[in-house]
Structure 1
Amino acid sequence: MRILMVSPYPPLRDGIAAYAQQSVIALRSAGHDVEVLSPGPSAAHHHLDLVGPRGALALAKRVRAYDSVVVQFHPDFFYPVGASPTERAAVSAALTVAFRLAARVEVVVHEIDYRHGRGGSPTALAARALWQQVDRVTVHSESEAQAFVEAFGVPRDRVHVTEHGAAFVPRSRADRPTARRSLGIDDEAFVFLSIGFVQPHKGYDRAVRAFRGLPAPARLDVVGSVRVEEPQFVAYAEELGELADSVPGASLHLGYVSDELFDRWLTACDVVVLPYREIWSSGVVERARLLNRPVIATRVGALAEQTAGMADVRLVSSDAELREAMWEAAGHARRDRDALSWPSAQEGRDAIQAAIVERAAVARGGPAVTPATGAPVAGRHRARVTAPLRRVGEVHLPDPGPGRGARPLARRVVRRLTAWQLQPLVDQLNALGRAATESVDRAAVRDEDDASSTGTRA
Structure 2
Amino acid sequence: MKILMVTPYPPARDGIAAYAAQAVRSLRRDGHQVTVLSPGPSAAHHHLDLVGPRGALALAKHIRAGRYDRVIVQFHPDFFYPVPNRMRDRLAVATGLLAAFRVASRVEVIVHEIDYRFGRPTAPDGAAARLMWRSVDRIAVHTEAERSRFAKAFGVPATKIALVEHGSDFARNTHFDRESARASFGVPLDAFTFLSIGFVQYHKGFDRAVRAFSGLGARGARLDIVGSARVDDPGNLAYSNSLDALAAATDGVFRHRGFVSDEQFDRWLVASDVVVLPYRSIWSSGVLERAALYDRPVIATAVGGLQEQAARAGRAQDITLVVDDAELRAAMWARAGGRSGATARASWRVGSLADDADLRARVQSEVVRRAVGARGTRLGGAVAAGTVDPDTAAAASRASAPVRRVANLELPAPTSGRSSAAFVKRLVRRLTAWELEPVVGEINALRAATVEALESVAAARGRGAAERDDPAGRVPPS
TM-score range, shorter chain: 0.7 to 0.9
Aligned equivalent of 1:236, options 210, 235, 239 = 239
Q: Does 1:325 align with 2:336?
A: no
2:152 & 2:31 partners in 1: Cα distance?
Answer: 36
- Residue 8 (structure 2) aligns with: 8
1:34 & 1:221 partners in 2: Cα distance?
Answer: 38
Map residues 194-209 of structure 1 onto 2, 5 A cutoff.
194-209=196-211
- Give the alignment's TM-score, normalised by structure 1: 0.73
Q: How far off is 1:422 after superposition? A: 5.3
Moved over 3 A (4+): 418-426
1:424 & 1:287 partners in 2: Cα distance?
Answer: 37
Q: Does 1:115 align with 2:121?
A: no
Q: How far off is 1:425 after superposition? A: 8.0
Q: RMSD of aligned C-alpha atoms? A: 2.0
Q: Which amino acid aligns with 1:270?
A: D
Deviations along 1:187-238, one digit per CA (max 9) or x if unpaired, are 2110000000111111101100110011332100001122222222222212
Q: Which runs of no fewer than 5 residues in structure 1 stay unpaired?
A: 334-394, 398-417, 427-458
- Residue 171 (structure 2) aligns with: 169
2:419 & 2:180 partners in 1: Cα distance?
Answer: 51
2:203 & 2:423 partners in 1: Cα distance?
Answer: 23
- Residue 443 (structure 1) aligns with: none
- Residue 446 (structure 2) aligns with: none
1:86 & 1:169 partners in 2: Cα distance?
Answer: 42
Name the SS of the counterpart of 2:117 in structure 1. helix
- Residue 213 (structure 1) aligns with: 215
Tell me: CA distance 1:145–1:84, structure 2 relative to 1, closer, same or farther (3 Å). Answer: same
- Determine if contact 1:296/1:325 at 8 Å carries over to the other structure: yes
Tell me: CA distance 1:226–1:396, structure 2 relative to 1, closer, same or farther (3 Å). Answer: closer
- Residue 274 (structure 2) aligns with: 271
- Residue 421 (structure 1) aligns with: 421
Tell me: CA distance 1:298–1:15, structure 2 relative to 1, closer, same or farther (3 Å). Answer: same
- Determine if contact 1:67/1:104 at 8 Å carries over to the other structure: yes
Aligned equivalent of 2:257, options 231, 254, 259 = 254
Deviations along 1:157-178, one digit per CA (max 9) or x if unpaired, are 2100010000000000011111
2:68 & 2:272 partners in 1: Cα distance?
Answer: 44
1:80 & 1:132 partners in 2: Cα distance?
Answer: 22
Q: Which amino acid aligns with 1:258?
A: S
- Residue 287 (structure 2) aligns with: 284
Q: Which runs of no fewer than 5 residues in structure 2 stay unpaired?
A: 340-414, 427-478
Q: How far off is 1:57 after superposition? A: 0.3
2:114 & 2:422 partners in 1: Cα distance?
Answer: 28
Q: Does 1:35 align with 2:41?
A: no
Map residues 220-231 of structure 1 onto 2, 5 A cutoff.
220-231=223-234
- Say how many residue pairs are matched: 346
- Residue 312 (structure 1) aligns with: 318
Name the SS of the counterpart of 1:169 in structure 2. coil
Q: How far off is 1:396 after superposition? A: 9.7
Deviations along 1:40-77, one digit per CA (max 9) or x if unpaired, are 00000000000000000000011132111000000111
- Residue 18 (structure 1) aligns with: 18
1:396 & 1:191 partners in 2: Cα distance?
Answer: 39
- Determine if contact 1:189/1:216 at 8 Å carries over to the other structure: no
Q: Which amino acid aligns with 1:237?
A: S
- Give the alignment's TM-score, normalised by structure 2: 0.70
Q: Does 1:57 align with 2:60?
A: no
Q: How far off is 1:424 after superposition? A: 7.6
2:168 & 2:420 partners in 1: Cα distance?
Answer: 39
Q: Which amino acid aligns with 2:297?
A: P
Q: How far off is 1:22 after superposition? A: 0.4
- Residue 99 (structure 2) aligns with: 97
Tell me: CA distance 1:198–1:422, structure 2 relative to 1, closer, same or farther (3 Å). Answer: closer
- Determine if contact 2:121/2:130 at 8 Å carries over to the other structure: no
Tell me: CA distance 1:31–1:422, structure 2 relative to 1, closer, same or farther (3 Å). Answer: closer
Further displaced range: 44-53 or 207-216: 207-216
Structure possessing the higher relative contact order (Cα contacts under 8 Å, 6 or more residues apart): 2
Q: Which amino acid aligns with 2:231?
A: V
Q: How far off is 1:150 after superposition? A: 1.0
1:57 & 1:93 partners in 2: Cα distance?
Answer: 9
Name the SS of the counterpart of 1:309 in structure 2. helix
Q: Does 1:295 align with 2:298?
A: yes
Q: How far off is 1:34 after superposition? A: 0.2
- Determine if contact 1:117/1:124 at 8 Å carries over to the other structure: yes
1:309 & 1:182 partners in 2: Cα distance?
Answer: 33
- Determine if contact 1:216/1:249 at 8 Å carries over to the other structure: no
- Residue 433 (structure 2) aligns with: none
1:396 & 1:226 partners in 2: Cα distance?
Answer: 18
Name the SS of the counterpart of 1:62 in structure 2. helix
Tell me: CA distance 1:13–1:396, structure 2 relative to 1, closer, same or farther (3 Å). Answer: closer
- Determine if contact 1:212/1:247 at 8 Å carries over to the other structure: yes
Q: How far off is 1:256 after superposition? A: 2.4
Q: How far off is 1:93 after superposition? A: 0.5
